[in-house]
Structure 1
C-alpha cells in the first residue's frame, strides 16, 4: 500500500500501515502471544500464503511496528516482536475484537 501524504490525515496514515489484509491478524497474534517465529504465525493464520506473510512482516518492520530478532545465527533463525509503536496499536485491535464480539451474531 503506498505511503499516504500527511494531508490525508492520521486515519489514512494508520491504514497505510495496518490496512492490508492479514495485517491486523498478525498484530493480534503478536499482541496475544508475544514474540513469534514466522512458522508460528503461518500456522495460526490459516490460509495466509508465505509470501503474503513475509510481505506484511516486512511492511510492519519497515514502519517500526515490529522488530525481527535473531535467536540463532547458524542457521539464521528469527522471531518477530512488537516495538513500542506496535504495542500502542493494542487498544485498536482490542476495540476491533470487542466490536466483532458485539456484532458477529
Structure 2
C-alpha cells in the first residue's frame, strides 16, 4: 500500500481551508453540476436537471445559488422570449476539476475493489 505523505505540517489555516473546501463541494449534486458544466459547457436549468437525473428543481436551484455565491458558476439572464438563464463555470471553478477527477478515479478503484471482495 502506498504511504500517504502530507505536503507540510498541519496548521490551523490548512485545517480551516480543508473544512472550507469540503463545505464548498459537499452535497449530493454540486460536484455533478460542476462536472456537467465542464463537460457540456454553459447550460440552461432544464438541461442541468435532465443530466442530473433525480434532482428536484428546488434542490437544483439551491445548489446553483450556492455555487454562484461561492464564485464557482455564473448565472446569465439571456434577453430572449421567454427569458432564459444560462449557467457556466468560472475560471475559479476549473481549479476544482483535478479534485473531481481524483474523486472519480478513487471511486472507480473503490468500486472495483468492493466488487472483487
TM-score, length of structure 2 as denominator length: 0.78
Task: Give the Å deviation of 1:86.
Answer: 0.9
1:57 to 38, 53, 64: 64
How many pairs were matched up?
100
| Counterpart in the other structure of 1:66 | 73
More divergent stretch after superposition (68-77 vs 42-51): 68-77
**In the alignment, is residue 92 of structure 1 matched against residue 107 of structure 2?**
no
Change in CA separation of 1:7 and 1:88 when aligned onto 2, cut-off 3 Å: closer
1:103 equivalenced with 2:81 (yes/no):
no
Question: Where do 1:18-33 residues align within 5 Å?
Answer: 18-33=25-40
* Cα shift at 1:75: 2.2
| Distance in 1 between residues matched to 2:25 and 2:74, nearest whole Å | 15
Q: Which of 79, 83, 88 is the aligned partner of 2:90?
A: 83
Aligned to 1:3: none
SS of 2:79's equivalent? strand
CA distance in 2, matches of 1:25, 1:95: 14
Following superposition, the deviation at residue 15 of structure 1 comes to: 1.7
- Equivalent-residue separation in structure 1 for 2:67 and 2:39 (angstroms): 17
Which protein is bigger by CA-based radius of gyration?
Answer: 2
Gaps of 5+ in 1: 1-5
How far 1:51 moved relative to its partner? 0.2
